[in-house]
Every structure is written in structure tokens, then in C-alpha cells.
Amino acid sequence: MGCDGGTIPKRDELVRTKKKPEKVEKKVEREAKWKHCALTQEPLRDPVVSCELGRLYNKEAVLEYLLEKSHAEKAEHISSIKDVHTLKFTENPAYTGEVASKGDGYTDTETSKYICPVTSLEMNGMHRFVFLLGCNCVLSDKALKELKTVKCVKCGSPYTQDDVIVINGSEEDVKDLRQKMEARKMLAKQEKKSRKKKLQTNGVCTNEKPACKQMKLTNGSALPSASSSSSSGTTTSLQKNGVVPKRGIVPSSSQRSDNGTKSADKISNGLIADDPNASKVYKSLFTTSDKAKQQGKAHWITYNPFYN
């Protein structure tokens, strides 16, 4: 069929060959990385955050991801909001925003909303940009190489070479950043453990765990507080002067008698009326006293079942 009238077919018209994989245009790939969120592919809007691998996200998208506990390959290393950093950009005065193109007008799609404060290079993916972990300021890599300072050019805070995070770097950059990120997490865990050990050795317990309770008992730190000792002293002085303590407060054995064990046994058995060291006014609070058993008289504080 076909091939009549002197036409000459080509080889790809006669033989089935494998199709070449479709290549994404570099311009489209740059815009997807530098102008859109890595999680939702929505346009970036303030506040913009970045992880320690250099990927850009909308802060709102990261919060939704953490609340929903969903799964995403580009956010597997983000377990809390502390794993991302809010970036501090320098706005481009020449940026006019997303304006609809006119008939004969020219719209420059390469313009970026942010620039480097030192070199004025636009952050559109054509140039290499970084941010510093200490202050989260965004600068171009060219500015850091030319100035060679130990402090941030924008805010003046000190930084080290390990604090430099490449934004949307290559695969080699991502591998290097991942190793640094894991090393920081290990250091943070070790510091946390060392702090806990120091607190335990000094006898200070941050939370009431069984180990902390045992330390308190062995060290003898579970001593009566100053408030309890002061209250016991006031109650004994009131009893000596014949003043009755408030209802519901039962004085201890040391407050009522010198022979603490005998009076404690009597009070525990309910025989307060037989305690020789207790005052008459104190005994009159209980129905076991002779005054409370008198017929025809009401108990002056508590209810008296003997009164009709």
C-alpha cells in the first residue's frame, strides 16, 4: 500500500524504532525549581522556607504536610518545623510581578523577585545561590567567593563553611549536604544525652522518672520543706496558748506530746479523749469528749449526734 507515484519512503516509516525519551526544556525545569514549591508545585510566596538540602518550599505547604503526616519523596527528611529555615531574601526593585502579556509588548520571563544584595544577580536559576544556616540570609555564591569573609555580608553574623547551604544544587551537592545534615543531627543527639547525664550526676531531675525518685531517696534530698516546718511551729504555739486550730487540721504526734509514739497510737485508734497532753478545748471538737456528750447542748463547731 502506498509508495506509488514515485515516492521514496524513509527507514523510520518502514521499521519501528524505539522512541527517544522526551527531554524537559531547561527553561521549564529552572522555573519549576526556583519559582515553585517542591511539595505542591504552587508558585512560591512569602514566607519561603528551605530544608538543609537546599529545596524551596512554601511554609504553609510544609505545615500541612506535617499535620496530615503524608508521604513525599522530596520531604522525607522533614519531621518537624525545626528542620526547615525561613529564608531572608533581598527583593528585586526591577521586578513588576506576573503581568499579562500584551499584543506587541515584551515580557521578560527570566526576571526574578529576589536578587543578591552584593552582586545584584537575579535568583532565577542561571546563577548559583546559597543561604547561611546561622542567619538564613540568601546570597550568591559569587559574592562569598569574591569577598572571602567569615561574617555574613548582609547582617554581620559569623558563619563557617559547613553552614553554607547550596539552593537547588546538583546531585553531588545534595549528597554532600545530606552527609552534613546527618552529622548535625548526631551531634545534637549526643549533646542532649550529655546534658541529661550532667543533670543526673548533679542530683537535678528534670522529670519525675523512677531513676530520679531513687536518686532522691538515696541522696536523702526528700526532706520536709520550710513551709511545713513553719506551719508545725505555728500550730504548736497556738495549742500552748489555748487557741483551737482550724477544722480538718490534725496535729502531728510531735506537736501533741513528747512521747510521739504513744499519742500517735491513741490518735490512730480514735482515742483522742484519752490523750493526757491534748487540751480540753481541742478534745471538745470530737464527740468522744465528755462535754460533747452532754445532753441538751449543741456542739459548738461540728455536728453532735447526741443532741436532739
**In-domain check, residue 167:** yes
Structural domains of the chain, count: 2
Where does a domain end: 136, 164, 180? 180
Q: Give ∠ CA 290-292-294 in degrees, rounded to 5.
A: 75
- Amino acid at residue number 130: V
Residues 30 and 116 placed together within one structural domain of the fold: yes
Residues 129 and 242 placed together within one structural domain of the fold: no
Least confident of 40-49, 88-97, 165-174, 283-292: 283-292
CA 235 to chain centre: 47
**In-domain check, residue 102:** no
180-205 b/e (C-beta count within 10 Å ≥ 16 → b): bbeeeeeeeeeeeeeeeeeeeeeeeb
Residues 171 and 251 placed together within one structural domain of the fold: no
**In-domain check, residue 274:** yes
Domain that holds residue 48: 26-95+110-180
Q: How far apart are CA 50 and CA 136, in angstroms?
A: 9
Residue 9 grid cell: 519512503
Residues 242 and 175 placed together within one structural domain of the fold: no
Exposed / middle / buried, residue 296 (Cβ in 10 Å: 0-12, 13-18, 19+):
exposed
Residue in this structure with the C-alpha cell 567567593, named with its chain if needed: 145
Instruction: Read off the CATH number of the domain in which 41 is found.
Output: 3.30.40.10
Residues 287 and 159 placed together within one structural domain of the fold: no
3-state secondary structure of 32: helix
- Mean pLDDT in residue range 143-156: 88
Q: How far apart are CA 124 and CA 141, in angstroms?
A: 14
**In-domain check, residue 125:** yes
Q: How far apart are CA 101 and CA 104, in angstroms?
A: 8
**In-domain check, residue 82:** yes
Residues 65 and 162 placed together within one structural domain of the fold: yes
Exposed / middle / buried, residue 116 (Cβ in 10 Å: 0-12, 13-18, 19+):
buried
Each residue's pLDDT tens digit, 76-111: 889 889 999 999 999 988 887 766 556 666 666 678
3-state secondary structure of 98: coil
Q: How far apart are CA 159 and CA 134, in angstroms?
A: 7
Residues 137 and 252 placed together within one structural domain of the fold: no
pLDDT at 244: 47
Residues 176 and 254 placed together within one structural domain of the fold: no
Residues 62 and 144 placed together within one structural domain of the fold: yes
Where does a domain end: 180, 201, 228? 180
Res. 266 pLDDT band, cuts 50 70 90? very low
Residues 173 and 84 placed together within one structural domain of the fold: yes
pLDDT at 94: 83
**51 neighbors 84 (Cβ within 8 angstroms):** yes
pLDDT at 8: 80
Residues 120 and 256 placed together within one structural domain of the fold: no
Where does a domain end: 165, 180, 195? 180
Each residue's pLDDT tens digit, 176-226: 999 999 999 899 889 988 888 888 887 655 555 555 555 544 544 444 444
Flag whether the pTM goes above 0.75: no
CA 117 to chain centre: 32
Residue 176 grid cell: 554532600
**In-domain check, residue 226:** no
Neighbours of 301 (CB within 10 A): 10
**In-domain check, residue 255:** yes
**306 neighbors 296 (Cβ within 8 angstroms):** no
Residues 117 and 257 placed together within one structural domain of the fold: no
